[in-house]
Structures are given as structure tokens and as C-alpha cells.
Structure 1
Amino acid sequence: MTLPNMLTMSRIVLIPIFVLAFYLPNESHRMVATGVFFLAGFTDWLDGYIARKMNQTTRFGAFLDPVADKLMVAVALTMIVEDFNSMWITIPSIIIIGREIVISALREWMAEMGKRASVAVSYIGKVKTGAQMWAILLMLFSPPGEVVANIGVALLYLASVLTLWSMFIYLKAAWPDLTEEMYIK
């Protein structure tokens, strides 16, 4: 068990702590939950840095890292949807979560065909992730309707547009393989 893999697993362990923190019956619940989400994001950066720097990349880590990320984001967006109780927050959240499912399936399928590189993470995907993480942090930290939360909402919409754009790029790259006639036995 490598340190990067332990850090990745810690993100999964942080999920129930994050949820409990958000629903604490006190005034600091938003700050605590935001801190836990930030800590999870920091461990995501740290595990990747250590894995590359110390040459500790593993197949298990390559599998678990995106799973941990997507679980934390899906849980956070689900809680934000409930907190904001608005169709206008639900729609971009569904777009983001739905895209993650589609692209994860696409990457798995392309990997089975030996063509994973054609759906590797793009620059737009990285910008989308940055906008998405800041949106979540700001919307966790600030109650609906406040200026900070409204900035988070704007970033959530930016992230959802970039989500669709990056999904289009990935699907376009995989389209020749998706439309090639194959007969499954």
C-alpha cells in the first residue's frame, strides 16, 4: 500500500464525514463541510504529486483516484441541490454528474479496445474541473442567495458548459470507434 493510495482511500473515508459535517446542527456546519471538501481536494492533488514524484503510480491508484473524485463531487452536488432547492441548480448538477458517468463508461470501453489515449483528459476538462471545484466550495460555504453563493452558481454554470464541451470533444474523438460495425457474440 503506497502513500498516494492511502491518500486516495482517505478521500472516500472523508465522504461520510463531509456529509455529517454539512448537516451538523450548528452555525459552523458550512465552514466545517467546506474544510472537509477542501481537504479532500488537497489530498487529490497531493496523492498525484507524490505518486509522480516518488514513482509510486499503481494500477490500483489509477483506478481508485477518479472513483474517489467522482464520488466526492457527486455527493457534494447532491447536497448542494438539496440545500439550494432550485431547478436552476439541479439542471447543471445533473449535467455534470451525467457527463461523468458517460465519460467514465466511454473511457472504460475505449480502454477495452486499447484506445484509452484517444479519450485522455484534455485541457478543457482540467479547466472544467477547476470551475466545478470552486463552484462547489463557494456554494458549500455560503447559504443560497448570498454573493459568494451566487459566484459559485455562476461557476457551476461555467463548469456545466465546459462539461458539455469536453464531453463533445471526447465523444468526437471516440466516434469512429463507436460507430464502427461490430457484432457482439
Structure 2
Amino acid sequence: MTASFAAPRYIVDGGTEATSVLRRLARAGWTTREGFALPENTWDVSGTRLVLFGRVADADTAELAVLAAARGAGVVAIADAGSDVGRALYADLARVGPVSVDPDAPVAGESDEPASSGPQLAPEQRALLERLAGGETIAAAAAAEFLSLRTANRRIAEAREVLGVRTTREAVLAYLRIRRETREG
């Protein structure tokens, strides 16, 4: 990405949650537009601070949403997380970057600091680290999370970078410390 900020990616259950997220994004300086189709004239739209939104009920719409995210647009998708389309959408968007399913999660560019201090791991990274903390191998954790071993290794490497550590063991220990502090605080 050419911009210094990450495009937000949200999957929410309904219009109320989407409206809440979109209002917060608009206050933070993002431009929102309904629909996931982007113009053909430029590939990289990451510098435009554009967020596309809409209902994702089929594979074709999910494909458009993922393509928009890959091109640098933010995405707020209204989808049933338990459906095949919702699960596939989450998995594909997570390959582009972190995805939030919490409409109350902080949005990029908000002036308020997030309530939790410390590094922010993507749900996929947390799931892998949780499995590693439970004694699973990376291969077993990847299989349990329906990821290829290569993708799991990339997610763990990204988690090490976020956590500021060099080894996977250090990442697991840092994750456990953060989890403990979050539960206590």
C-alpha cells in the first residue's frame, strides 16, 4: 500500500452495525460509498480513503468485496458470519489483512485512543497463537484454522512483528501475557 494507514475491513451482521461503523469512519475522514465495484482506471485506491459497503449474500458480491480490499479500499460487509458465504468472505478478507467483526472496534484515523493498550493482533493471528500456546504445532494449528502452512507461517511472522519479538516462542509468551492482562484489567 502506498498510504501510511490501513484500510478498515469489517464484517457485521446487520444494517444497524454497518451504519454505526460507517458513521465512525466518516468522522475519521473516510469517504463511504455503497457497492463494491471500483472504477477500472486506477488499480491502487489505498490513498483515497474510500470505504465501500453493502450486503454480501452471494459469492459474486463477496468476490467484488475482496477485490476492492485487495486494491486498497476499506470494506464494510453486511454478511451472515455463520453462512458459507460469510465464512469464505472472512477467510478471503483476512488474507488481505486484519478483519474486524466487532462494530465497536476502533477505526483507522479515529482520534480517540483504543481502550486496550498494547499491540493489536488480527483474529486469525490470535487463533493461531492460542493453538500454539495449547501445545499444537504450526502445521496442526494451520489445519485446525483451515489455513495452508505457508499462510499460517506468514500470519505468525506478522504477529511476531506486531508484538516486537523475534521468535515464535516469544510471540506465544507475549500473546499469553497480553491475554492475561486483558482478562485481569
Normalization by structure 2: what TM-score? 0.30
Normalization by structure 1: what TM-score? 0.30
Question: Which one has a larger percent strand, Structure 1 or Structure 2?
Answer: 2
Question: Which one has a larger percent helix, Structure 1 or Structure 2?
Answer: 1
